[in-house]
Amino acid sequence: MSHFSNIKTQIRNLTSLKAALTDMGIDWKAGPQPVRGYRGQTRNAEVVIEQDNGYDIGFSSNGKEYELVADLEYWKQPLSVEGFLNKVTQGYAYQTVLSETTKQGFQVSEQQNNTDGSIRLVVQRWSA
């Protein structure tokens, strides 16, 4: 019996996901790599985060978006699963906005990290 849980996300861009994890200071490995779980079970994922306890966290594509894959019984992160996903999702959104606005010729002119955890970005583009 599998102990893995798959948690749906709104994450669709692997590059932005990797950048968000890096910004959070999380060491990750690019896949496909096995996510280690209960009794040696594994699942492949495109991004794997190794934990000190020998059980991993991964992000695996379901064809539409990347799901968090982990044996939640062995979750050993400073944040709860929900807190971790909220932080990753915010970082992902930030990276996606930067990427998309850069493609359109915009540059960040102002960034404000608010006390409530939100981020305010002002982007601008000069036209001839």
pTM given for the model: 0.86
Tally of domains in the chain: 1
Q: Residue 56 pairs with which residues in a beta bridge?
A: 50
pLDDT tens readout for residues 64-108: 999 999 999 999 999 999 999 999 999 999 999 999 999 998 988
Beta strands in 24-118 (DSSP E): 29-36, 42-50, 56-61, 66-70, 107-113
- CA 46, CA 68: separation in Å to the nearest integer? 11
- The boundaries of the domain holding residue 87 are 5-124
